Structure 1
Amino acid sequence: MNEPSILDYLKSKLGMTDGEKIDFPRDDFNAPAALYEAEETLGTDSKPEIFQPSNLLTGGFPWRSLLALLLALMGQSAFEPPRHSGGAGIILFFAAFIALAFAYRYKEWRLPVLRDDEFPLDDLLFRKKPFFWALPFMLVAFYTFAGNRFTFFNLFLWLLSLFLFIWSFWQSDISLIERVQSLKTFFQQRDWRINISRWTLLVLAVSATVLFFRLYQIGEVPAEPFSDHAEKILDVYDITQGETKIFFERNTGREALQMYWTLFVARVFGTGLSFLSLKLGTALLGLLTLPYIYLLGKEVANRRVGLIALFFMGIAYWPNVISRVGLRFPLYPLFVAPTLFHLLRGIRRQSRNDFILAGIFLGLGLHGYSPFRIMPVVVLVAIGLYLIHKQSRGTRQQIIIHLLILTLFSIIIFLPLGRYALENPEGFSIRALSRMGGLGEDSLKIFANNLWDGARMFNWDNGDIWVHSVAGRPALGVVSGALFLVGVALLFVRYLRAGHWQDLFLLLSILLLQLPSTLSIAFPEENPALNRAGGAAVVVILIVALALDGLLTSLRSRAFRGLGNLIAWGVTIFLVAFSLNQNYDLVFNKYAENYRTGAWNSSEMGQVIKQFEQTYGQTDTVWIVPYAHWVDTRLPGVWAGIPNRDFALWPENLAESLTEDGPKVFMTRTNDQVALAELARLYPNGTLSRYTSASPLEGHDFMIFSVP
């Protein structure tokens, strides 16, 4: 009888064989104890592939892996501006992939092993009484959501129906009374013991670093608001005036979640209806994404992968910038991460509860940022891929029923917005449809070009939108960009060899989550866009973490204990330090400066308004004369604490100011000769002065015409 090979063993572990499982007894090998100590110290939920004792038979120093990493880093560095050398980068990456192929061949660099599937049978029972009580409450709530308004009554009915549906379908071995009793017992304990391990310290260090990167200089970076911020603040102001809308129709329409969240943040932190409230609110939303990034990495591989993913997601320039700009952008990855986590875990564990939670997060995401509307397609693709692969054998009927449960809960959560969409289909969809445009004869060609540009955004060019990117550079840094391509290659090869649906899904999900950007056929210059492709960052960073975990595992296990650990620590420190330095520079230097170049200095005009109010006790006689492609005349009022006023007075209407008594101030652009001449004619006793901006950028000065 032939001895089983490593491939036979892996196929057995992945469920690719119909026979009995193959196992290698641990005691049959003289593997270094350090390998198992490392596993316990770092903590894994499933042993990475390199930890299998059979892999140690090949032995040897992993120089091929280190060479592949070095060449990939050099290749990604060549793609960085200002060098931006495509030819050199492609050659270096080609060489890196050759070295990677040899590293893979000699089992040096492999991805962590997928977690084992579980196959519990769902009895498909549910509690009928709460289910049939929930139905009328849901229908009445749907009816009362008419008129685009949240009320206490319809919110109560909506949440009550949700509670009853959860009660009906949720599976639990512990009753609610037992859970409450256990919590009561816990809090009644006189002493609580906290166990602080090396892993705990590592998690705390990573968390502190991430908090620094996400909240440092939140008041200064980015520096100034622009028109979209004015629209958001007006929407939040509307809520304070009792307009509790489901969908805010100003400026082609916005989902409601950010508006209510911003008002909550403004009141909790005392920041008022301000630019800071918007930025602090979205920065916190970005931070709320990170626990699920960790859980997703842990679900796909192990907790090391989860922590690595959390670290890179926390410090990376791409998710950091879209989280601190003060718009709805971070709501896309915020709900992609938990939806994917519960979906993947629900499929692996055949867990009805995870499908319920995936449906809830799917529905919530639809209230956040319109690009998330692609997520139902992503869910269907995931289920479809699972059903056509052999991993679903014996569970297909059950998984379809679980999908129906997921759909039910997403519809319940979507109910208010669904009612608005039925009443106002054009208002609900105009923003997305305006980007797609009509289906002309060039549409397919434009879409193909958009797909190509979208695929290149991670390693080559993330677009030219100054609001949320550093124009003309890759979306990823040197380290994450190199590891991403390596991870994609390893995932692709593993799928070809093992045929596991999840590997293929991770690769396809990136393209799917980019569709809100790549479908911008009417405005192809807006693609790629880091905001509308923000959901893809979740999977991209996950692949980065998978690749790095595989490398570090190889380094720790391929040489004798001291040298292996030393090299692993050295590579880790180098990659971490390089990433920290580059991402700090990208966010707090390059992005901050580029943003200042594009934004107007409305804060300084706000200071003029505040000074006038402090002197004269009113602002009714302060105006800003609009000029094409200049400052939004609503924003200075935001800085002055007047979020609901537009200070605009057009040149042709300047004479209307004569009806106002008392001192007056007019602010104009320096080259607006028409307005200045009209003011001089209307107010011959007025005085003209130039406000010299603190910004060294040309065009940021403005004129102040004062009337005593």
Structure 2
Amino acid sequence: MNERVLKFFASLKTKSGGLARLLAGLAASAMAQYNLTNALNQPGFWDIRTWLPGIGDNSSPLAGLLLYILAGWLFLTGLKALKDAPGPLAIAPLEQKKHRPRFGFWITSLGLSIFCAIFAVRPEVEDYGHPLAALWLASIALFIISLALDEGWQLPSTPGIKQWLEAHGAELLIVATIILAAFFIRFMDVELHPYSFVNDEGEMGASAACILEGNCRNLFGVGWAAQPNLAFLPYSFSIALFGRTAIAIRLVSVLTGTLSVLAVYMLCREVFDKKIGWIAALLLATLPPHVHFSRIGVDNIVDSLSAPLLLWLLLRGVKRRSTSSFLAAGIVGGLCMYTYPGTRLAPALGIIALGAIAVQKRGFLAAYWRNLLIFIVAAIIVAAPILGTFATHLDVFTARMSREGIFNNGTLQNMEQSLGLNAAEVVTLQLAQSSLVFIVTGAPLNFFNSPRPYFTPLAAIFLMLGLGYAVWRIKDSRFLVLFLWFWAAIILGSTITGGPPTTQRMLMSMPAAAILVALALSRMVDALLQDGKLARRLGTIVILAFVLYTGYQDINYYFGEYRAGHFFEDPTNELSYETHTFIAPLRDEGRFYLLGTVDVPYLSFANFSYLAPDVQTDYLYEVTPQTLAALPNDKDILFIATADRKDELELLASLIPGGEWSEFNRRYQPEQLLFFSYQLEKELLQAFKP
């Protein structure tokens, strides 16, 4: 008996045994996913106190998660038996260069940037905001020029460019196709899907217009939602090109989301291989939450660009000992302080990556000290002005976490009382709600409101296996950073904030998740189909089929079921957007009065000021002959009433006849009325006698 057991375990170490375990791991993963999906429909799924007792009757997520752990063990031991061995991160030779420490204008650049930081917080900064911004740009340019002269950088020759294009032509064609597809998916019908243009987008537009019109000159100050004014600058350029439109605001997100797909490919190509890069880029290109926030004009989507871009530049610099890559990484790291608050995590991930490499590679710091210094100095020069603002207004820097963090805003205490849980149980529940949305639960509210999890069931299986693979290879700095990248965004962006899953704050984790899926799929295919040209072609077919199937499911869901289900639509946002076609033509020759639902502060919504900035607006609280006679009558007047105040607008029309009456139904739910309008020429109002 003992001999048979020994033979059995010995067989598991063979190639055939490894293959059996790998396939068993896939089968167990499918069972785990099925188990989680069924458990979701049970009433005790989110009752953390019943999780342990409910394992047996499949009313808690623990049974499915335990099955996933078993599946991961089978999958990984199968890969081990099949000789899975990802190549190490190639690092340039660690010999110390005989480089004369000429620092050029480094100190001057730092001094100019610090000068900007000091003056950016002075009360009169609005008077010289533009010259201050020019001086800041000069400090960055001076640092770049200093390095260019010191390093002897030269523009590539025409023959060199031609040779490079010939060597990489096929790759460029594939990447260009992926990027164009990602752009098309994000730009197609972007004005009306997701519908409608929400008021946070109006805030972005109004802030950008303020810069464009010269009323907000201090780019190092903070504006709406405690975001640095520089974050609104790309939207200013877009408004200058396309006017005060929804497309102008949403186009910035379209381009940012598209670039993040490219950044993911470049990162994977640098630290893994092209195949993983192609898979990850294609998965991210069609991933519904990423597509969704690439089509909304708020800057959360920049999170998904900053992390892969910064990591690519840093790891490229490490691999190739590229001073220019460290310089670019420093500039990107500094700019992360000027955008959406979640983007500030990206420089921390970069520092962790460098720290992990330094621990693993003896002599790294001694060999790379100058490039590391360039990275740090570049980041300081770029970030110094906004850091000066934050230093003098610490409450602004911590505003988002103070407002949203469950430890600061009373949410933790409220949940303890209402649910009868202790603090550890509350945080565990928050973590489950923040993470299970990737594979099994829906994503309600929070700018997405999707009934479907982020990934399809098939992709979810490989995401879980990819997480297991990252843990297995955690001693490799690449997998350590990837693992921390994924979980840091989930924990900091959703777990410790209110109302998880907060999709809008977990966008940085999306590229990491796509890479994890690509890793598991690629390693599985490589292990199963190791030898021969036919096997490689079959592996390519398997990967292509996976990506096409997943992409079809994602695109079909987002542009089909999600859109048809009206999950993003909201009458309040629709009214503030759709009314602009009536209000904006008035310009400064008319006035607009709103008869709105009493408890909704419509006119505080930025959509009105962004889309129709020149029109005077006010509420009309009561319709009587006296209130109408008291209205200014030197301009035409447009009255708009919500559906619940139709009777009052009809009364107004009966008191002052002769105006133009219109009705507007909800665009995609036309059986519901959205608002009524009644427009009067000033002569009719002047002739009115109560």
TM-score bin, normalised by smaller chain: 0.7 to 0.9
1:431 match: secondary structure: helix
Equivalent residue runs for 1:95-494 within 5 Å: 96-97=71-72, 99-107=74-82, 110=84, 112-118=86-92, 119-123=94-98, 125-147=100-122, 149=126, 151-168=129-146, 175-176=152-153, 179-180=154-155, 182-183=156-157, 194=166, 199-242=171-214, 243-246=216-219, 249-268=222-241, 271-348=242-319, 352-387=323-358, 389=359, 391-397=360-366, 403-436=372-405, 442=413, 446-461=426-441, 463-465=443-445, 467-471=447-451, 473-494=452-473
* C-alpha distance in 2 between matches for 1:636 and 1:619: 20
Indicate the residue corresponding to 1:620 in structure 2.
590
Report the counterpart of residue 6 of structure 2 in structure 1. none
Unpaired runs of 5+ residues, structure 2, are 1-12, 46-57, 414-422, 685-690
Task: Give the partner amino acid of 1:296.
Answer: L
Separation in structure 2 between the aligned mates of residue 646 and residue 458 of structure 1, nearest angstrom: 46
Pairwise CA distance, 1:251: 3.9
String of CA shifts for 1:480-535, please: whole Å, max 9, x gaps.
Answer: 3221111111221233xxx32332232122222234423644xx21x222221111
Residue type matched to 2:394 in 1?
A: P
Q: Residues 19 and 82 of structure 2 are in contact (CA less than 8 Å); yes or no, is this contact kept in structure 1?
A: no
Contact persistence 1:296–1:340 (CA under 8 A): yes
- What RMSD in Å do the two structures reach over aligned CA positions? 3.9
141-150 vs 127-136, which moves further: 141-150
Amino acid at match of 1:460: V
> Residue 116 of structure 1 aligns to a residue in which SS?
coil
Task: List per-residue Cα deviations over 1:406-451 (Å, max 9, x = no partner).
Answer: 3322121112212322343333432332112655784665444333
Give the 3 Å change call, closer, same or farther, for CA 127–102 of structure 1 in structure 2. Answer: closer
Once residues 250 and 138 of structure 1 are traced to their aligned partners in structure 2, the CA distance between those partners, rounded to angstroms, is: 21
Instruction: Report how far residue 337 of structure 1 moved.
Output: 1.3
CA distance in 1, matches of 2:656, 2:435: 59
Q: Are the aligned partners of 2:19 and 2:528 in contact in 1 as well (CA < 8 Å)?
A: yes
After the TM superposition, which of the residue ranges 479-488 and 253-262 deviates more from structure 2? 253-262
Structure 1 unaligned regions, length at least 5? 1-55
Bigger CA drift: 317-326 or 507-516?
507-516
Q: CA deviation at 1:371?
A: 1.0
Contact 1:668 1:702 in 2 (8 A): yes
Q: Work out the CA distance in 1 between the residues paired with 2:64 and 2:555.
A: 24
* Rounded Cα–Cα distance in structure 1 between residues aligned with 2:428 and 2:511: 24
Whether the aligned pair in 2 keeps the contact of 1:222 and 1:595 (CA below 8 Å) is: yes
**Residue correspondence of structure 1 range 563-582 to structure 2 within 5 A:** 564-565=535-536, 567-582=538-553
Give secondary structure in 2 for the equivalent of 1:621. Answer: strand
Alignment partner of 2:478 out of 502, 507, 510 = 502
Describe the SS at the equivalent of 1:667: strand
Map 1:44-123 onto structure 2 (within 5 A). Answer: 58=15, 62=19, 64-66=21-23, 68-69=25-26, 72=29, 75-76=32-33, 87=58, 90=65, 93=68, 96-97=71-72, 99-107=74-82, 110=84, 112-118=86-92, 119-123=94-98
SS in 1 for 2:505: coil
Deviations 1:208-233 (A, max 9, x none): 43233222222321121122122112
8 Å Cα contact 1:469/1:530 also seen in 2: no
SS in 1 for 2:191: coil
CA separation of 1:682/1:434 partners in 2, compared to 1, >3 Å: closer, same or farther?
A: farther
Deviation sequence 1:567-604 (CA, Å, 0-9, x none): 42442243122212211123212443311256424444
Distance of aligned partners of 1:248 and 1:669 in 2 relative to their CA distance in 1, 3 Å threshold: farther
Give the direction of change, closer, same or farther, for the CA distance of 1:134–1:436 in structure 2 (3 Å limit). Answer: same
TM-superposed deviation, 1:475:
2.1
- Which segment is superposed worse, 142-151 or 228-237? 142-151
Change (3 A) 1:636 1:393: closer
Tell me: CA distance 1:447–1:478, structure 2 relative to 1, closer, same or farther (3 Å).
Answer: same
What is the one-letter code of the residue matched to 2:333?
A: L
Of 691-700 and 321-330, more deviation after overlay is shown by 691-700
Residue identity opposite 2:88 in structure 1:
L
| Displacement after TM superposition at 1:343 (Å) | 2.8
CA distance in 2, matches of 1:631, 1:480: 42
Change over 3 Å in CA distance of 1:132–1:458 after alignment to 2: same
Report the secondary structure of 1:594's partner residue. coil
2:576 equivalent to 1:607 = no
* Larger mean Cα displacement after TM superposition, 569-578 or 531-540: 569-578
Distance 1:215 1:92 in 2: 40
Q: Which amino acid aligns with 1:552?
A: V
**Conservation of the 8 A alpha-carbon contact between 1:483 and 1:548:** yes
Query: Following TM superposition, by how much is the alpha carbon of 1:328 offset from its aligned partner in structure 2, in angstroms?
Result: 0.4
Q: SS where residue 114 of structure 1 aligns?
A: coil
Q: Which moved more, 1:659-668 or 1:687-696?
A: 687-696
- Give the SS at the match of 1:366: helix
Amino acid of the residue matched to residue 90 of structure 2?
A: D
Q: Deviations over 1:256-311 (max 9, x none)?
A: 3442212222334xx21211111111101111222221121012211221222211
Q: CA deviation at 1:57?
A: 9.0
* CA distance in 2: counterparts of 1:200 and 1:60, whole angstroms: 40
Deviates more, 1:481-490 or 1:509-518: 509-518
Q: Of 626, 633, 649, which aligns to 2:619?
A: 649
Q: Which moved more, 1:565-574 or 1:311-320?
A: 565-574
Q: TM-score scaled by structure 1?
A: 0.77
> Percentage identity across aligned positions?
19
Residue identity matched to 1:420: T
Cα pair distance change 1:458/1:193, threshold 3 Å: closer
Task: Rate the CA distance shift 1:100–1:276 in 2: closer, same or farther, 3 A.
Answer: same
| Aligned equivalents of 1:92, 1:691: Cα separation in 2 | 53
What is the one-letter code of the residue matched to 1:539?
A: A
Question: Which letter does structure 1 place at the counterpart of 2:134?
Answer: F
Q: Distance in 1 between matches of 2:495 and 2:148?
A: 38
Distance 1:634 1:252, change over 3 A: closer
Q: Distance in 2 between matches of 1:625 and 1:520?
A: 40
CA 1:316–1:288 in 2, change beyond 3 Å: closer, same or farther? same
TM-aligned CA distance change 1:700 to 1:142, over 3 Å: same
Report the Cα distance in structure 1 between the residues aligned to 2:235 and 2:501, rounded to whole angstroms: 28
CA distance in 2, matches of 1:267, 1:77: 51
Deviations 1:438-486 (A, max 9, x none): 5578466544433333332321336322523514x32223333221111
- Relative to structure 1, the CA distance from residue 247 to residue 669 in structure 2 (aligned partners, 3 Å threshold; closer, same or farther) is farther
Structure 1's 288 and 207: CA in aligned 2 closer, same or farther, altered over 3 A?
closer
Report the alpha carbon displacement of residue 129 of structure 1 after superposing the two structures with TM.
3.5
Distance 1:141 1:590, change over 3 A: same
Distance in 2 of aligned mates of 1:184 and 1:337: 30
Seen in structure 2, the aligned counterparts of structure 1 residues 554 and 508 have a Cα distance that, compared at 3 Å, is same
SS at match of 2:433: helix
Q: Could you tell me the TM-score, scaled by structure 2's length?
A: 0.79
Indicate how the Cα distance of structure 1 residues 159 and 201 shifts in structure 2: closer, same or farther if over 3 A, else same: closer
